[in-house]
Amino acid sequence: MFRVGIVALLQESNTFLPGKTTLEHFQQELLVRGRDVRQHFVGGHHEVSGFFAELERRGIEAVPIFAARAVPFGTVTRATYALLLQELLQELESAGRLDGVLVAPHGATVSEDVPDVDGDWLTAVRHKVGPQVPIIGTMDPHVNLSPAMVAATDALVAYRTNPHIDQFQRGVEAAVLMARTLTGEIQPVQAAAFPPMLINIERQCTSESPCRELVQEFEAVRGQRGVLSTSLLLGFPYADVAEMGSASLVVVDRDVAQAQALANDLASQMWDLRSDLQGRFISVPDAVGQAAGLPSPVCLLDMGDNVGGGSPADGTLLAIELERQGLTPSFVCINDPDAVSTCEVLGVGSEFSLAMGGRVDPLHGPPWTTDVTVLQLVDGQFDEPEARHGGLTHFDMGRTAIVRTDSGLIVMLTSLRTPPFSLCQLTAFGLDPAAFRAIVAKGVNAPLAAYQPVCPSMIRVNTPGVTMADVTGLPYHHRRRPMYPFEPETAWTP
């Protein structure tokens, strides 16, 4: 029986945040070894769940080794990455003989000493198992793909959807490639192309034009003879590293020249669409004003306070504007442990003036002070049964208070930053989404999978912050130059 190891290390690092990602962040979210990896993922929607399912179906022994994940936040501290890498390699050493390794990097992890963490740990795995053992994996399309990642692996497969609802399927796809490789049916090789461009996050929904047309082009190439996989890599603009940007990746059977030619052609098509792939921005007052005239509930996507991009999740600008324009009842979620503590002290039913949000920095709005009534105090845990962005099934917001302002806003105050990937964030606590005129979701595209079924309209709002959509305003020091759209006259041929 073939033995295939399973390794995952996922974190999206926003280098513009002053705070750092520590070991505690991983321990709080996910840090497991050995059999605990299987226990955590089997039966879920994640790509690692897909690894396990397909290997079992094919009679291949899955050897769970190591898995770590943290909610997107700042740069990973040097000590944290050093410890994670040490544990990963120790567990890999203890796993015994392996015929292959399935890996799940995110692709946009940055540490204080290593800007390309994913390329670094994948290279370390390659050195550990040797050149003959196939390494095949998945990655988030928000990867900042590096040549080191490509060189260290035999094949990488990115999720094809944004919101990411196909993670399980991509895990299955990677496991199928592994099985076919181990039996000698195929010999996967891959090549990438790196056009010097950024696809604005406001344009990255794969079911909306113009990104949709690019997805179709990649799908067409995937159907060609000898092609095993194609990946449209959107990039993660909030990591100030040389690898930041968009890319194409093609995996074929044996012919690396074919892979490079196809990757170059797809990158050229991305380049031709570069102006269309830049953002369209609407201000906070205009967004709330538009929402007032649309069928409810309207989902207002808070792009500058995008939790999935590492933001503090305590932005107040949309809440303040909803109150100012009187668009109520509406729903807002704000991460504010201090406000939760105040509500717990005073108790359910208490009425008082409460300061909420705006505590981390001035970018996301000031503290919002208004009169509230405490409606609920809960443990903040809930489960999502459907495949939603991120592939998560269990969420923990920490101690959570739900309050109603005198103006009619319902505010969920959490103790832990929680991305809006699940409608159960509301329904698990008795909140009916249909009862609101507007629902604020701190994200850009990720919340769509959860909220589109109940929200007739979605408005992406150009809020300021560490995940601002207009990235030309961010203080980059390490990105490639020239690069479109920062240098509009940039020229490129593959």
Mean pLDDT across 433-462: 97
Asked if 471 and 241 touch (Cβ cutoff 8 Å), the reply is no
Instruction: State both tokens at 70.
Output: 């943290």
Q: Is residue 131 classed exposed, middle or buried when 0-12, 13-18 and 19+ CB atoms within 10 A define those classes?
A: exposed
pLDDT digits (tens, 9 = 90+) for 142-163: 999 999 999 999 999 999 999 9
Q: How many helices (H) and strands (E) does the chain have?
A: 14, 19
Q: What is the pLDDT of residue 37?
A: 98
Percent of the chain with pLDDT over 90: 97
HSE at residue 316, side-chain half, CA atoms within 13 A, is 20
pLDDT band at 465 (very low <50, low <70, confident <90, very high): very high
Q: What is the pLDDT of residue 393?
A: 86
The type of residue at 402 is I
**Predicted pLDDT of residue 362:** 86
- For position 387, what pLDDT does the model report? 87
CA-based radius of gyration for the chain: 22
- Under a CB-based contact definition with an 8 Å cutoff, are residues 333 and 311 in contact? no
Over 90: is that where the pLDDT of 391 sits? no
Instruction: Say how far apart CA 42 and CA 153 lie, in whole Å.
Output: 24
Strands (E), 97-151: 100-105, 135-139
- Give bridge partners of residue 251 from the DSSP assignment: 190, 229
Mean pLDDT value across residues 198-213 = 96
Residue with tokens 């690692």: 48
What angle, rounded to 10 degrees, do the helices at 211-222 and 256-272 form?
160
Residue 276: pLDDT band (50, 70, 90) is very high
Taking the C-alpha atoms of residue 30 and residue 39, their distance in angstroms, rounded to an integer, is 12
The per-residue pLDDT for 131 is 97
Phi, psi of 352, deg, nearest 5: -165, 170
Write down the pLDDT at residue 41: 96
CB 310 within 8 A of CB 238: yes
The three-class DSSP label of residue 27 is helix
Rounded to an integer, the average pLDDT of 424-434 is 97
Calculate the alpha carbon distances from 317 to 27, 400, 472 in Å.
32, 21, 21
Q: 211: which 2 tokens?
A: 């990104």
Asked whether the CA dihedral 43, 47, 52, 58 is positive or negative, the reply is: positive
Region of poorest pLDDT, from 126-140, 224-238, 385-399: 385-399
336: which residues sit within 8 A by CB, 6+ positions away?
314, 356, 357, 359, 413, 414
- CA pair distance 11, 390, nearest whole angstrom: 12
Note the residue count of the chain: 494
User: Model confidence at 214, in pLDDT bands (50, 70, 90)?
Assistant: very high
Tell me the average pLDDT across 270-283: 96
Contact 183, 66 (CB under 8 A): no
Query: For position 271, what pLDDT does the model report?
Result: 98
- Work out whether strand 135-139 and strand 155-158 pair parallel, antiparallel, or are unpaired: parallel
Gap between the Cα atoms of 299 and 284, Å rounded: 13
Query: Which residue is listed with tokens 């999206």?
Result: 12
pLDDT surpassing 90 at residue 392:
no
- Whose structure tokens read 């503090």? 312
**In one letter, which amino acid is 22?**
T
Residues 432-458, mean pLDDT to the nearest whole number: 96
Q: Tell me what pLDDT residue 146 has.
A: 98
Average pLDDT, the chain: 97
Predicted pLDDT of residue 302: 98
Kindly report, residue by residue over 367-377, the tens digit of the pLDDT: 999 999 999 99
DSSP string, 317-378: HHHHHHHHHT--SEEEEEE-HHHHHHHHHH-TT-EEEEEES--S-GGG---EEEEEEEEEEE
CA 454 remoteness from chain centre: 22
Confidence check: pLDDT of 228 > 90: yes
Give the pLDDT score at 389: 85
Q: Which residue has the higher pLDDT, 242 or 360?
A: 242
Tokens of 274: 């570069």
Q: How far apart are CA 367 and CA 277, in angstroms?
A: 34
Strand partners, 66: 7, 33
pLDDT in tens, 125-140: 999 999 999 999 999 9
Per-residue pLDDT tens digits for 8-35: 999 999 999 999 999 999 999 999 999 9
140: amino acid identity, one letter: D
List, in order, residues 6 or more apart from 67 with CB less than 8 Å away: 6, 7, 8, 9, 30, 31, 32, 33, 37, 40, 41, 48, 104
pTM to 2 decimal places: 0.95
Distance CA 422, CA 446 (A): 10
Residue whose tokens read 């008082």: 352
428 token code pair: 């698990």
Name residue, tokens 């544990």. 87
Q: Please give the average per-residue pLDDT across 235-264, as a whole number.
A: 98
What's the pLDDT score for residue 374? 98
Asked whether the beta carbons of 236 and 137 are under 8 A apart, the reply is no
The pLDDT value given to residue 11 = 97
Q: How far is it, in rounded angstroms, from Cα 152 to Cα 122? A: 6
